[in-house]
Structure 1
Amino acid sequence: MIFSKERPFLLVGAGRMGGAMLSGWMADGVDPSTIVVCDPGPAPEMVSLLETHGIRHVSETPADLSPSIVLVAVKPQMMDVVLPGVAPAVLPDTLILSVAAGTPIARFEAAFGQVPVARAMPNTPAMVGRGITAVYPNAGVSSVQKETIASLLGA
């Protein structure tokens, strides 16, 4: 994995899909201290998961955060609200990974500049570890980042 306490993984949106992925990562043994969850109103079961694992939770992206990966797991209609709040934390090498249906890579490039971006579309059985996921990276995604995407989505 390419994230750490210094360059954490930022999960934006801890609803059904984001929450299912986070549960999978915890089951796979990902270090919870390397993850920051940004969601203004997580469901009670998500709050419980965050507290159980000691995962940092914020309502908006902290100004001092420099994530190595940002996973955008919000509804497409929330992009205009969410992306501007995340943009200040995105560095040129930050990988943007989206599981938002119907939001093209160009939308993320417009919000964040020429950064590595990949779109992933997990299907519903992925929520119970039995699905498949299609991934489409832009040209900026490195081979190491592709391996990290595969590992993250494999959970």
Structure 2
Amino acid sequence: MGQSGEIVLVGCGNMGFALLEGWVARSGIAADRIHVVEPAEALRRRVAAAGVEAYADASDLPRTLQPRAVIIAVKPQVIGSMLAAYRRFSATAAFVSIAAGVPIATFEATLGEVAIVRAMPNMPASIGMGVIAAFANAHTGNVQMAYVTDLLAAVGSVHWLPEEKLIDAATAISGSGPAYLFHFIECLTEAGIAVGLPAETAHALAKQTVDGASTLASVSVFSPTELRQQVTSPNGTTAAALDVLMAEPGLAALLKGAAAAAYRRALELAAAG
């Protein structure tokens, strides 16, 4: 990725630190090009241990600093009180928010007509395997989008959306989706115990089966439907199981209902914010 320019990272909790690690370890960004603002002393110590300069407050940042990107990784409820301190970087920086539920309009109200990207990484970003849904406002140029893509790609795959409202739809799939899969592993473990497997074995089989199958689905030239058909022998054990999962109302209907509920709640939270 392009290495020019400096980065200001505001907030270095779990997701912020995942980005920081990704930039240094996977994207090859020099640690001295990154400036972190984090009020919590313990988190600043963690940043310092990674070789990156950390500041307690935006006012401590170098006065000559002209970052190419400002990444906002703080809790949504503090956006209003902290954003104005970064307005001085609007001439050079694209602003990237990973604060859940905060619309771009909130940032534009304080920062003005500047490049702003709203992004939503999911939990596996913490190990560099996340999915990041993103939307850029009209003031974000192609070069800035490419640069932001590179920054976010340090923790996973980036998917640009044509409308901001689709961030809420993405929340229902990739944002909440890991919890669906974790629950599936719980259920598969319980099913293994129910048919006689020791609990430890059932848990290991469930986790490793999901891990292997998801990896295969990611790398295979075959679609998930084709892979399912390949593992399903006519009148065999898998077919018997799928007769249960695919009966009406089956797993597909449950997931559609779950995603719809998550989407509705995302809309409610956005409206409340």
Q: TM-score, normalised by structure 2?
A: 0.51
Q: Which runs of 5+ in 2 are unaligned?
A: 155-273
Output one character per residue of 1:33-69: Cα deviation in whole Å (capped at 9) or x when no partner: 111001111435x52342342x121111236132221
RMSD (Å) for aligned C-alpha atoms: 1.7
Residue 60 (structure 1) aligned with residue 25 (structure 2): no
More helix by share: 2
Q: Which residue of 1 aligns with 2:82?
A: 82
Query: Aligned partners of 2:50, 2:98: CA distance in 1, in Å?
Result: 25
Q: Which residue of 2 aligns with 1:118?
A: 117
Q: Which runs of 5+ in 1 are unaligned?
A: none
- Counterpart residue identity of residue 23, structure 1: E
Higher relative contact order (CA 8 A, sep 6+): 1
Q: Percent identity?
A: 36
In the TM superposition, what are the counterparts of 1:91-102 in structure 2 within 5 Å? Answer: 91-102=90-101
Kept in 2: contact 1:37–1:57 (CA 8 A): yes
Query: Aligned partners of 2:17, 2:146: CA distance in 1, in Å?
Result: 21
Per the alignment, in what secondary structure is the counterpart of residue 130 of structure 2?
coil
Kept in 2: contact 1:3–1:69 (CA 8 A): no
Residue among 16, 19, 25 paired with 1:18: 16
How many residue pairs match? The answer is 149
Kept in 2: contact 1:122–1:133 (CA 8 A): yes
Per the alignment, in what secondary structure is the counterpart of residue 70 of structure 2?
strand
Kept in 1: contact 2:18–2:128 (CA 8 A): no
The runs of at least 4 consecutive aligned structure 1 residues that moved more than 4 Å come to: none
Kept in 2: contact 1:9–1:36 (CA 8 A): yes
Shift of 1:3: 4.3
More strand by share: 1
Query: Aligned partners of 1:96, 1:57: CA distance in 2, in Å?
Result: 19
Output one character per residue of 1:63-107: Cα deviation in whole Å (capped at 9) or x when no partner: 6132221000000001122112222x2233420000000111111
CA gap of 1:111–1:129, structure 2 versus 1, over 3 A, is same
Q: Which residue of 2 aligns with 1:39?
A: 38
Larger Rg: 2
CA gap of 1:42–1:97, structure 2 versus 1, over 3 A, is farther
Residue 131 (structure 1) aligned with residue 126 (structure 2): no
CA gap of 1:120–1:11, structure 2 versus 1, over 3 A, is same
Q: TM-score, normalised by structure 1?
A: 0.88
Output one character per residue of 1:5-28: Cα deviation in whole Å (capped at 9) or x when no partner: xxx210000111101110111112
Q: Which residue of 1 aligns with 2:230?
A: none
Kept in 2: contact 1:2–1:68 (CA 8 A): no
Q: Which residue of 1 aligns with 2:105?
A: 106
